[in-house]
Structure 1
Amino acid sequence: MMSCRHVLPVLTLALLAGLGGTARGAEADPALARAQIRETSEKVLEIFRTRELFAPEASDRLLAELRAVLDQRFDWPTMARWVLGRKRPLFDEAQTGEFADLFSQYVVLYYLTQVEQQIVTGDPDQVNQVRIDYRDGTSQADGSVALEVIFTTPKGTTVQTGYTLVFDAAGAAWRVRNFSVEGVSLVRNWRNELASARSREQIMELMTRKVDELRARRAAAPAAKP
């Protein structure tokens, strides 16, 4: 018979092995990523259905509420580092954080303007009847999961979004590290946009200008019907 002092280490190793298998299973399960993106998408749609948020005087509140929802799911620091790519040595840690904040502002504004012009500014009843379709997540060789979310109005107008998510073991959640709208990957698109930039100042100036352009575009667009 095995003594207690021999049994305890064996049981401990077995328990750790079981926990490790469970963690790996969670990381590899695209169903969890899909469930978490479903939760985020439902929150976003609820914001789009809140018509008073689209009044001109409520613009800052609208952006803040949408940003708060996306903050729960998007890994802005990693997305910013991927965008910078070979330009990262131009930035120290604090400056990279500033760029990440500016990039996140751009993503929120870009997403919002695409949805507004396709879905929100029309008949309020159209927004209330918007359907969300989810395409099953596919596991990638690097452990990430790619999936698509499509907003569709009763008239057939659609906005297609794509997500690449990586499991964050510390937070036990899937985090977005690439995001596309209508097939345009914002990480890849911006990485190409910055390829010819020679300085940190040039990069920040370009990103700031693009954010300002989106703000101006929103301000000039027709307001949503009450």
Structure 2
Amino acid sequence: MMNLDFKQIIPSIPYILQGISVTLEIVLLAGLLGFILGIILSLLKISSINILNWLADAYTSIFRGTPLVLQLMLIYYGSPQITGYQIQPYTAAVLSFALNSGAYVSEIIRAGILAVDKGQREAAMALGVPYRKMMWDIILPQALKNILPALMNEFISLTKESAIVTTIGVMDIMRRSYQVGAKYYSFFEPLLVAGLIYYLMVMILTLLGKALERRMRQGD
């Protein structure tokens, strides 16, 4: 028989909700850094310099081929052994998520760049447009417009995966809900509340992504 009592955790819901700002700060900062890193890596992958191609591909292979939670723990628990300094949990979370996201974003952007009509590049080169200006003003804007849904999916995945920061003590939604469960010796109710919060966040991000996509299509 189910023995659920949501009434006892109602006073603790505001405490759980405080974790939303922590989660969003980590996701937004890591997402921004990962996006910048992804652009750099994607440009290296399409570069004519083989060593740069190899380095970017090796980076992507490592970060896509190992679990995110392992990367998080290596950065957090391994930092004292490697650097002699204990990195803060919040910093470790942002850094690990940014490095991981950059690997995935680089593949998305690379695919978007390669999908742009080659005639655009040939026309720019015929007009004498410098490579850097061509990529920044002509190719990348078109590529980003095409890959926006994929980028939003990556951001949504990052939002859900951010829950693993509870393993290193970051006071996010999951950590707070676990503490509430430990307080009342009843974990199902607070974890269910946490799940509802994550679900609502993802739904809001999905709607924002669709609205942005529609606006960009209307601007064509």
Using the size of structure 1 for normalisation, the TM-score is: 0.32
TM score, norm. by length of structure 2: 0.32
Higher RCO (CA < 8 A, seq sep 6+): 2
More helix, by proportion: 2
